[in-house]
């Protein structure tokens, strides 16, 4: 997974980013109190387009095979649900 760094501040116990970051609900993020050496926060100049969000989701899910599929959202959710369901006989 590609890493990127965004700067923000804590206000009333919540992390508030300097610029909005258009991530889908449920997207997992990690917050650290230090920036790795030789990195700069990304500059968010505009929200991602729906096509850019779709591509990002499919890259992160390793499902680029769904890029041109009109039912990509349903299939992506189904594969996520199947991965979360314990298999019979599993301990």
Backbone dihedral angles phi then psi of residue 54, each to the nearest 5 degrees: -60, -50
What is the tens place of the pLDDT at every residue in 13-25?
Answer: 888 877 777 778 8
**In DSSP terms, which residues pair with 16 in a beta bridge?**
9
List of long-range contacts for 60-69, beta carbons under 8 Å, 24+ apart: 60/1
The answer, as to whether pTM is greater than 0.85, is no
Q: What is the mean pLDDT of the chain?
A: 77
Other Cβ atoms less than 10 A from the Cβ of 47: the count is 12
Indicate if the pLDDT at residue 1 is higher than 60: no
Radius of gyration of the chain (CA): 17
């Amino acid at each position: 997974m590609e890493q990127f760094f965004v700067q923000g501040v804590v206000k009333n116990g919540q992390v508030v980013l300097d610029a909005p970051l258009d991530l889908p609900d449920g997207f997992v993020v990690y917050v650290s109190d230090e920036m790795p050496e030789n990195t700069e926060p990304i500059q968010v100049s505009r929200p991602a387009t729906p096509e850019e969000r779709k591509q990002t989701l499919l890259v992160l899910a390793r499902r680029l095979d769904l890029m041109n599929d009109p039912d990509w959202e349903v299939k992506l959710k189904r594969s996520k649900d199947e991965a979360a369901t314990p298999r019979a006989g599993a301990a």
